[in-house]
Amino acid sequence: MQCSWKSMMLLVLASIAIQYTAIRTFSTKPLSLLYSVGLAPRGHAVNCSLKDLTKLGQETIESSDQGCDETRTPFSPASTSDSSNVNKRTHILILATTRSGSSFVGQLFNQHPEVFYLFEPLYHVQLALLPRLSQSRNPAERRVMLGAARELLRSLYHCQLSSLENYIRPRPSNHTTDKLFRRGASRSLCTPPVCEASLGRETQSLVLTDEGECARRCGPLNITLATDTCRAKLHAAIKTVRIPQVSDLRALMEDPRLNLKVVQLVRDPRGILASRIETFRDTYRLWRLWRATGRRPHNLDLGQINTVCEDFLRSVSTGLARPAWLRGRYMLLRYEDLARFPLQKAKELYSFLGLDLDHSVEEWIINNTRGSSDLSSRQKFTTVRDSAANAENWRLKLSFDMVVYTQTACQPLLELLGYKRVFHPRELRNLSHSLVENRTFLPFL
């Protein structure tokens, strides 16, 4: 397979950018360029020629754990000296796609007093390196993003939050920034001791009504204080929509220092499409035109939903195949099940992770799954909603033709996850008949 000169030039330039940031952050680590772009997994001695690297850049994401001639080498004593302490922590990654309910799942951990939670830190990697990668389906381009993302995740789980500074724009001054993406979504970053630098004792009774209030009342984020808070917590959780497939995380899953567990959140792609059309109005303008006129625009980007189904299918297929490297570290969670049975699924989730379900989490679930459907329709990023009613309300928002196209393009995924197809407009609108099959997806223990 041949790459165009433009793709090769993009890969080279992006690799140089990642090398620069990796050298600044991991100056003591050899082969920083190879590790940062994901060409060399940890614990390997690598012997690659330029021809090999070019070939690797053209390979698909599924082969990310294969590359040049390698020799397995053991971890050095220095790299494992603190593994006994680190392994006491449970590191959680919520793997999802946009508008699949991931913010809600993230809050199930954010509400726990002993969990340090970060909301979409990889946003800064994407924005700093190659912003257009958010919609990219080019394997070489996605590989560049994934290499940097893995390195940052590894650092964040070790509470090396200063690694984020290489990607935040403008760059933080004196380890302080007001540009962290949606800081207010993390309680740990909006409460003492991170917040009390600005509010003192008043913060003890601070109740935030929205994310924006955190920045207004707490002031710029002190990354050093945030780092200390991360280290003081028993566990850490990160939510991301910027890792396409669980196989992209294999190098992290096999790292004995991380004790990383992945919760893969999935949702009916028809529901994802309906939510994106309502939320990202400019990006999905042609979809709204199709819905309004009944005619599909000839220049409609069908890849916007096709990519979701392709990534979900590959990732879920990997997880359900139960490879040895995922044993005890992978759980599949359908958004619809969580919406209908939030407390039950939360208990199953915490049981899989080996954590105690704190009463504060239970209280949050009760208070945030009985909101009004009208509220959720007006506030697109809220987690307060009537979760059961929201699970399948996409059936009232998409035209029948749009549903037919989506379920045809995503048929293998629908069958794998237990989502029923519809064959008539009346069947689509009949909400008394659920399109979600009763299926049980047990964690891989």
Q: What pLDDT score was predicted for residue 30?
A: 36
Identify the weakest region by mean pLDDT among 12-21, 98-107, 252-261: 12-21
Rounded CA-CA distance 264/332 in Å is 5
Q: Quick one: pLDDT at residue 362? A: 94
Check the CA dihedral 433-439-441-442 and report its sign.
positive
241: left (phi over 0), alpha (psi -120 to 50) or beta: alpha
Looking at residue 128, its pLDDT comes to 87
77 has a pLDDT exceeding 60 = no
* pLDDT at site 411: 97
Q: Helix or strand or coil: residue 385?
A: coil
Instruction: Of 122-136, 286-300, 368-382, give the range with the top mean pLDDT.
Output: 286-300
**Nearest by Cα to 330 from 230, 441, 221:** 441
- How much is the pLDDT for 363? 94
Q: Give the whole-angstrom CA distance, residue 79 versus residue 250.
A: 19
Region 326-349 average pLDDT: 96
Predicted structure pTM score: 0.78
In SS3 terms, 218-242 reads as HCCEEHHHHHHHHHHCCEEEEEECC
Closest CA to 127 of 166, 95, 183: 166
Domain ranges of the chain: 5-74+115-233, 268-429
Q: How confident is the model at residue 74 (pLDDT cuts 50, 70, 90)?
A: very low
- Torsion of the alpha carbons at 123, 125, 130 and 134, rounded to the nearest 10: -30
Nearest to 304 by CA among 324, 276, 328: 276
Two tokens, residue 253? 């899953």
What pLDDT was estimated at residue 62? Answer: 39
pLDDT of 206 > 90? The answer is no
- Best CA proximity match to 357, nearest among 190, 114, 116: 114
8 pLDDT tier (thresholds 50, 70, 90): low
Q: In this model, does residue 314 exceed pLDDT 50? A: yes
Report the alpha-carbon distance of residue 369 to residue 375 in Å, rounded.
12
- Pairing outcome for strands 221-222 and 176-177: antiparallel
Check whether 76 has a pLDDT greater than 50: no
Residue appearing with tokens 């009985």: 370
Rounded to whole angstroms, what are the CA distances from 92 to 9, 41, 235?
36, 20, 8
The answer to whether residue 202 scores a pLDDT higher than 80 is: no
Helix or strand holding residue 332 (H, E): strand 330-334
Question: How far is the C-alpha of 326 from the C-alpha of 261, rounded, in Å?
Answer: 9
| The dihedral sign for the CA sequence 134, 139, 141, 147 | positive
Task: Work out the average pLDDT over 333-354.
Answer: 96
Read off the pLDDT of each residue in 75-101 and give the average, rounded to a whole number.
68
